[in-house]
Chains A and B, each alone.
Chain A
Amino acid sequence: MPRESTLHLLLYATAGLLAVFLTIHVALHAPGLFYDTYKESVQRESVRKNYENFGWALVALLIVAVIHGLIGLRGILLELRQGPRWEAFVNFLVVFLGAYMLGLGTYTLLTWLGIIHFGG
């Protein structure tokens, strides 16, 4: 694990970036901006269009949200209990969850965009 100060610097940086990417995310669903209604913004075709037009922003949102959230979760879990085995478990858990969520999110996006095809 990196040093705690490095993790917290990352926490603060991702918090700033989250504000930017969450604004884009909310704007994509806000009525009257890109779509007339919220319901229209969550239709299959709208989501596909968002992925095509703002895929980079959504991947960035996924990355910063996962990093920010997992560093925060790690802090909470380390406060709940103490001990070397628990700390090792928590570190493993956040790395595993991070890899899983980033992998799943990126895979979903790439599949939707048709860059990779599940099952050939």
Chain B
Amino acid sequence: MGVNGNGRPATRVVKIRVRRYDPETGRRWWQEYRVEAKKGTTVLDALLRIKAEQDHTLAMRYSCRMGACGSCGMLINKMPRLACETQLLDLGTDTVTIEPLPNFPVLRDLITDFGDFFKKHRDIMPYIVRESKKENEEPYREYYMPPDELNKIIRFSYCIMCGLCYAACPVVAIDKKFLGPQALGQAYRWVTDVRDEGLRLRLEKVDDKHGVWRCHFAGSCSAACPKGVDPAQGIQLLRSKLVALTAGARREKKPTHVATPTTVRYVDVGDAPKPTVEDKSLLVKHLEETAQELEQDLPYVAQALRDYLRTITSS
């Protein structure tokens, strides 16, 4: 058995304790599994292996396996994280505890109900609102947005709605009506967007007893965010916007840089680049080799690669 840079074995058996819940009986319990982990083995890999090889009844939600969809949020070693982005050995503990995300109702095992979370997100109108009814109801062209204006909001646009910030928020834990860091961060993202004209509408939503003012600025939302969105900063900026508007120190920002849809200028970006792998046989060979390498440790990934191979060879 090899060792890694820390002198620890490159492969070791990790005890995984999963908090389980059966909605039919109402039973909650801890269940232990043992999984062999090496560098690169994520918590999601381990859970999928447990599901495939040890316990088919274990329920979890996942999709992309690459930190893009935000489906596999869990409380891993008491910290909200994405299971697909968290490597078992990086956690540095021999026992890894996995629980469903707090502040969400649990449906089964590690699956939580995001209904209320998504409702709060919808409440702040996460889309461009225009004063013209026609533009709102029948949008027909895109709006031009200068790069410097995009820079103001791009950080907040990285939100994948994984709910980790919401799970980490101590205010949501006691005030279930609190809009939460995700919705408030997104409210800031949209009121700052120069293409948007719905500032007043959105501020009415967030200027509420359970809105932006309930935030205690614990900052745990920003610490938990896997995309570096920093919702806590968004909330503070939203507050300063509200205070300035209430005090009359700042006038409502008019979107001066916004072109009307009819005057959008399209830039010719040219043709798409040519494929980097022109010889299909090279790609097939590479995929076959990769599938073989992964056969032992990640059989389901190897199987997925073979399925893909079948698709491209049959087309």
Please determine whether B208 and A4 come into contact, CB atoms closer than 8 angstroms: yes
Q: What residues of B have a CB within 8 angstroms of the CB of A8 in the complex?
A: 213, 239, 242-243
A6 at the interface (CB under 8 A from B): yes
Spot the interface stretch: B8-16, B173-181, B280-288. Answer: B173-181
Provide the bound-state CA to CA distance between A106 and B34, in Å: 70
Please determine whether B242 and A5 come into contact, CB atoms closer than 8 angstroms: yes
B209 contacts which of A6, A12, A78, A80 (Cβ < 8 Å)? A78
B211 at the interface (CB under 8 A from A): yes
Q: Known contacts being A3-B207, A4-B209, is A82 close to B246, with CB within 8 Å?
A: no
Provide the bound-state CA to CA distance between A5 and B245, in Å: 9
Q: Known contacts being A4-B208, A4-B211, A78-B209, is A9 close to B246, with CB within 8 Å?
A: yes
Please determine whether A82 and B210 come into contact, CB atoms closer than 8 angstroms: yes
Provide the bound-state CA to CA distance between A76 and B207, in Å: 17
Q: Give the number of chain B interface residues (Cβ < 8 Å).
A: 19
Q: What residues of B have a CB within 8 angstroms of the CB of A4 in the complex?
A: 207-209, 211, 213
Please determine whether B174 and A9 come into contact, CB atoms closer than 8 angstroms: no
Interface footprint category on A? 10 to 19
Provide the bound-state CA to CA distance between A69 and B220, in Å: 26
Provide the bound-state CA to CA distance between A5 and B211, in Å: 10
A79 at the interface (CB under 8 A from B): yes
A42 to chain B minimum Cβ distance, whole angstroms, is: 36
Provide the bound-state CA to CA distance between A7 and B177, in Å: 19
Q: What residues of A have a CB within 8 angstroms of the CB of B213 in the complex?
A: 4-5, 7-8, 75
Provide the bound-state CA to CA distance between A9 and B207, in Å: 12
Please determine whether B214 and A79 come into contact, CB atoms closer than 8 angstroms: yes
B98 at the interface (CB under 8 A from A): no
Instruction: Please name the residue on chain B nearest to A8 by beta carbon.
Output: B213
B110 at the interface (CB under 8 A from A): no
A5 contacts which of B171, B207, B210 (Cβ < 8 Å)? B207
B220 to chain A minimum Cβ distance, whole angstroms, is: 16
A32 to chain B minimum Cβ distance, whole angstroms, is: 39
Provide the bound-state CA to CA distance between A9 and B247, in Å: 7
Provide the bound-state CA to CA distance between A9 and B158, in Å: 31
Query: What 1/0 mask marks residues of chain A from 1 to 21 whose CB sits below 8 Å from any chain B CB?
Result: 001111111001000000000
Q: CB within 8 Å of A: which residues of B?
A: 171, 174-178, 207-211, 213-214, 239, 242-243, 245-247
Q: CB within 8 Å of B: which residues of A?
A: 3-9, 12, 75, 78-80, 82, 87
22 contacts across the A-B interface (CB closer than 8 A): A4-B207, A4-B208, A4-B213, A5-B207, A5-B213, A5-B243, A5-B245, A5-B246, A8-B242, A9-B243, A9-B246, A12-B243, A75-B213, A75-B214, A78-B175, A78-B210, A78-B214, A79-B171, A79-B174, A82-B177, A82-B210, A87-B209
